Amino acid sequence: MAIFKPYISSESIKLVNSTLKSGHINEGKNVEVFENLISKELKIRNALALNSCTSALHMALLSCNIKEGDEVILPAQTFVATGTAILMCKAKPVFADINIGDGNISVNSIEKKISKKTKAIIVVHWGGYPCDMDEINELSNKYNLKVIEDAAHALGATYKNRPIGNISNFTCFSFQAIKHITTGDGGLISLKNSVDYKRCKKLRWFGIDRKKTKFNDLNVRNSEISELGYKYHMNNISAAIGIGNLKQFKKIQKKREKIAMLYKEGLKDIDGLLQLNYKKNRISSWWMYNFRVIERGKFIKMLKKNKIPYSAVNTRIDKNPLFGTEDKSLLNQNIFDKQQISLSTDPSLKIQVVKNYIKIIRGGW
């Protein structure tokens, strides 16, 4: 049983229908509407809609001029895309440890991993819970490093009352099938600096600014490409799904929060179940409900027997031979990887069903 279910609003279906009928299916008006809507609703600045968060991470690294020989620090507690984007720039991913209390990258560990070659840090708001951004930005100023936020799980999260997407120079979101808001597949990069924004706007479509280039007498776009670009833009069909879904975001997010709060209260004081320590100065987007269980194997057997959906969602990525070998010196990561587990906060879950899951878990394993 899956812990995530794609959410498609009825308005998305209508909008996709009309977009298909219109024939304007490539990047166009819908993409602009989607970008404006998400900027307005979620205070995400300079939003550029893309075809994935992986593309967004790649463009963020390109904006930081990450090249062969550079090192980029990241947590192993993430999805492989955080690391593959670094490899796409021919740079070296360097894994830092996480906080055992929340699963996010540890500031102390980042500092220990900084070398002369380090150029940037990618932080991942794992499960939607924002990282220690003040401390991370302080460190990046001290060592002159760029910070990229991988906010694939964190749409709608806030840090000290500031929305994620409004803090750092580069924030990357995902609208892949099972994220808070899906566009089928899709992503977004938010760029603080308008020079980076303008550059990425070109890079997302082969280095061409769609709006600024005119068609000539041959009915061909007059492009003068000066920098290698990519096919990373979002199209109007995806944007149509996104627009319809975004309008429901606040409603579905409230439901996620409600479910998370039920788990938080209901799973208190259980032997062998360790809740994560989420600070009051930030709000998670609760992509799932994460915690640790000492005897995870037995716990999973009990969940399976009772048909309670669960997943570890992301397991450490440094174990993939692509990245070298698992870094056993990441002591918290070693423990977290053996104990972490997540329950569903999917908005389609009925409150009574969640209460029943809690009751069953409280019964022991």
As measured in angstroms, the least distance from the Cβ of 122 to ligand PLP is: 9
Residues 6+ apart with CB under 8 A from 162: none
- Residue 203 or residue 354: which is nearer to ligand PLP going by CB? 203
Q: Are 150 and 178 in contact (CB under 8 A)?
A: no
- Residue 118 or residue 174: which is nearer to ligand PLP going by CB? 174
Torsions phi, psi for 291 (to 5 deg):
-160, 180
Residue tagged 């995902």 (tokens): 174
As measured in angstroms, the least distance from the Cβ of 243 to ligand PLP is: 18
- Residue 124 or residue 181: which is nearer to ligand PLP going by CB? 124
As measured in angstroms, the least distance from the Cβ of 7 to ligand PLP is: 15
Alpha-helical runs (H) found in the chain: 10-22, 29-42, 53-63, 80-88, 107-113, 133-143, 194-203, 236-246, 249-266, 296-305, 331-339, 351-362
Q: Are 241 and 184 in contact (CB under 8 A)?
A: yes
As measured in angstroms, the least distance from the Cβ of 331 to ligand PLP is: 22
| Nearest residue to 303 via CA among 267, 333, 336 | 267
- Interatomic CA distance for residues 223 and 225, integer angstroms: 6
As measured in angstroms, the least distance from the Cβ of 176 to ligand PLP is: 4
As measured in angstroms, the least distance from the Cβ of 342 to ligand PLP is: 12
- Residue 107 or residue 124: which is nearer to ligand PLP going by CB? 124
- Residue 232 or residue 365: which is nearer to ligand PLP going by CB? 232
Residues that bind ligand PLP (CB under 6 A): 52-54, 78-79, 81-82, 124, 150, 152-153, 174, 176, 187
